[in-house]
């Protein structure tokens, strides 16, 4: 009744063309937002310690998971999509990806908005390279949600 499949192979994890750095960009934005909320919670001086602790714990947990998600999204595109001809055209791509990995880790370790902005800028640079490889122009625009920082969009 069922046909025996002897061998299956594929050259990537998903069908070609279904890669997009927007997930990493949103994650980088989210780390900035969480850091802003952490600082706001501490500056406002929430009187209810339970609420303050709850909010800080949640913001920190989201910052951590979004940092990891950002790194993972970039790592997948870099590992599965970027090929030797792309490296020839963009010889600094490996250094850029390493910078994203290290900066993502620094964002996890600290509550530095500056570090989170560095992560976003590196991810935006990666997004510009990604879309150049695809032959698609890009533009930088302010995200329509907090923290309202610039991200790279393809011009479709």
Instruction: Look at residue 115 in the predicted model and tell me its pLDDT.
Output: 98
Instruction: Look at residue 1 in the predicted model and tell me its pLDDT.
Output: 61
Instruction: Look at residue 18 in the predicted model and tell me its pLDDT.
Output: 85
pLDDT tens digits along 55-105 = 999 999 999 999 999 999 999 999 999 999 999 999 999 999 999 999 999
* Residues 127 and 89: beta-carbon distance below 8 Å: no
Q: How far is CA 53 from the centre of its chain?
A: 27
Fold of 22-154: 1.20.120
* pLDDT beyond 90 at 15: no
pTM above 0.85, yes or no: yes
Residue 110 CA to residue 57 CA, distance in Å, equals 14
* Residues 21 and 126: beta-carbon distance below 8 Å: yes
Please measure the distance between the N-terminal and C-terminal CA atoms of the chain and give it in whole angstroms: 47
pLDDT tens digits along 91-141 = 999 999 999 999 999 999 999 999 999 999 999 999 999 999 999 999 999
Residue 144 half-sphere exposure, CB side, CA atoms within 13 Å?
Answer: 1
């Amino acid at each position: 009744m069922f046909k025996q499949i002897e061998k299956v192979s594929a050259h990537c994890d998903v069908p070609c063309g279904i890669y997009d750095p927007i997930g990493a960009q949103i994650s980088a934005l989210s780390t900035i937002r969480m850091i802003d909320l952490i600082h706001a919670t501490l500056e406002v001086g929430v009187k209810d310690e339970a609420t303050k602790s709850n909010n800080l714990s949640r913001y920190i947990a989201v910052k951590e998971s979004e940092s990891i998600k950002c790194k993972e999204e970039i790592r997948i595109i870099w590992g599965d999509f970027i090929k030797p001809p792309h490296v020839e055209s963009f010889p600094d791509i490996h250094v850029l990806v390493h910078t994203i990995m290290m900066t993502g880790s620094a964002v996890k370790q600290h509550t530095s908005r500056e570090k989170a902005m560095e992560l976003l800028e590196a991810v935006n640079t990666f997004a510009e390279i990604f879309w150049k490889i695809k032959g698609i122009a890009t533009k930088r625009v302010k995200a329509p949600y907090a923290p309202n920082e610039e991200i790279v969009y393809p011009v479709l």
